[in-house]
Amino acid sequence: MCGPMRIVERYAVGFKLLRGAGAWSLFDPCKFVLSLIYRLWLQMFRGRPGATSRALRVVPQSGSGAGPCVVSIGNIEAGGGGKTPCTLRLAEEIRTRGGIPVVVSRGYRGRAERFAPCVVPGGRSIGTVGDIPYTTEETALSRVGSSRKTDASLAAFLGDEIMLYRSRAIPVVIDANRGRGARLAVKLFTATHILLDDAFQNHSIVKDVEIVLLDAERPFGNGRLLPLGYLRESPSAIGRADVVLFTRAHAERVPHEAEQYVGGKHLFFASHEPVELIGYIGETAPLSLLSNRECTLFSGIARPGPFEEMIAELGARPRRAFRFIDHHRYTEKDILLMLRTAGSGALFVTTEKDWVKTRDLFPPDTMLYALRIDMRISRIETLMNIVATASSGCGRRSPETP
């Protein structure tokens, strides 16, 4: 990264303990024991008889014919894998080809989890359904607990990732019960494709295409399971995947440590490309606006380093970078701290998902921009052909639920 930049970490104690840096590494023996217990739990769960045979198949609204294509996008490492950008790209490609994609998400860190299923229509008209009670976005607006309905309060209710889908007019059903959420998506929107955001570890629904994302720079992190590392499962779990997508890839080359696990899989490579800047009121600006400009960065994402490096590569001169925990819920206190530290007239740059949560908290005259990033996937046509030829009507992953 060019030029000096001060890192200001605003992490909670729990995150510092999980990361184990500095004095927090004294807790590593305890985390080692917990990691062993977690490994044993994984082995018992995966070996449990009938764990996948009870998976639900999604059928079309008419009850006959092939159902929607169910695509799972997930990873084996907690956080920062690029699942949301990948889901966004797939949804846009499906729409381009005339399909109707609907995202089914758990709605992590959003209060809407408690009112699931919660439907975010994304600008589409909603059909009729009588057998599955649900909450609409309009009802959610009345439950955010604020008389002023802002993007920040809505993001706190729905979740920051849901706000990104909403901004792209992609319908979402928030429901930890993925089978119920998928059925609702078919009934309300006649979905042709169900995109399961972060569902590689979810075995409750029949999937047609299982996509696993691995970071090309560090596919397995430190190689240790939670909480000693960041792995949700061991690398051998990749065997369940149909497609392996290496993100943040600078070349179409499989990392050495991943070679033994991806044999026989469809392999693709993706990069995160900056597209434009989004201003305070939603206006767009060219990336050249940052050229040779001093700025203050802030983000609440799992891996802030690549975001900060990208800003510097665009020619900006970041002076400070505030780092908050992933999915952080910003408060006025956070904003006042950054304003006071950066000084008057400062230029702030953040991520798109942090922008929707903080725009209403900054003074209107603040120079605040979000960096919009798109995922570019190599051989995208081949990947979409794999998706197009899949159908849950075939029941590929499990026998039909009675």
pLDDT, tens only, 349-385: 999 999 999 999 999 999 999 999 999 999 999 999 9
Binned at pLDDT 50, 70 and 90, residue 28 comes out as: confident
> Are 127 and 62 contacting, i.e. CB atoms less than 8 angstroms apart?
no
Tokens for 390, please give them: 């899949």
How far is it, in rounded angstroms, from Cα 20 to Cα 247? 26
End-to-end distance of the chain based on CA atoms, in angstroms? 57
What is the structure's pLDDT at 25?
65
pLDDT score, position 395: 41
Tens of pLDDT, residue by residue over 44-92, are 766 444 445 456 677 666 554 568 999 999 999 987 789 999 999 999 9
78 burial type by CB count under 10 A (0-12 exposed, 13-18 middle, 19+ buried): middle
Which domains are seen in the chain, by residue range?
6-15+274-375 (no CATH), 69-271+378-394 (3.40.50)
Task: Quote the distance between the C-alpha of residue 90 and its chain's center.
Answer: 13
* Token pair recorded at residue 332: 């006025």
CB atoms < 10 A from the CB of 138, how many? 9
d(C-alpha 72, C-alpha 195), whole Å: 6
Reported as a single tens digit per residue, the pLDDT across 234-260 is: 999 999 999 999 999 999 999 999 999
Tokens of 294: 């001093």
Dihedral sign from CA coordinates of 333, 334, 340, 345: negative
> pLDDT confidence of 15, banded at 50, 70, 90?
low
Q: Are 267 and 378 in contact (CB under 8 A)?
A: no
More confident position, 37 or 263: 263
What average pLDDT is seen over the chain? 86
Please report, for residues 6, 276, 316, 323, 325, the alpha-carbon distance to residue 296 in angstroms, rounded to integers and kept in the order given: 10, 18, 10, 11, 17
Q: Which of 181, 215, 179 is nearest to 79 (CA)?
A: 215
Determine the 3-state secondary structure of 164 from DSSP.
Answer: helix
**Phi, psi torsion values for 6, nearest 5 degrees:** -90, 130
Write down the pLDDT at residue 46.
60
Percent of the chain with pLDDT over 90: 62
User: Which DSSP letter does residue 299 get?
Assistant: E
Using CB atoms within 10 Å of the CB of residue 378, give its burial: 0 to 12 exposed, 13 to 18 middle, 19+ buried: middle
pLDDT on residue 29: 74
User: Considering the chain, what percentage of its residues have pLDDT values greater than 70?
Assistant: 85
Nearest residue to 117 (alpha-carbon basis) of 202, 208, 186, 68: 186
Higher per-residue pLDDT: 29 or 207:
207
pLDDT tens for residues 301-348? Answer: 989 999 999 999 999 999 999 999 998 999 999 999 999 999 999 999
- Mean pLDDT score, 285-292: 97
Structure tokens of 66?
Answer: 């092939």
SS3 sequence of 214-283: EECCCCCCCCCECCCCCECCCHHHHHHCCEEEEECCCCCCCCHHHHHHCCCCEEEEEEEEEEEEECCCCC
pTM of the predicted model over 0.85: yes
DSSP state of 122: T
CA 76 to chain CA mean position, Å? 13
Provide mean pLDDT across the span 164-175.
94
- Predicted confidence at residue 207, as pLDDT, reads 94
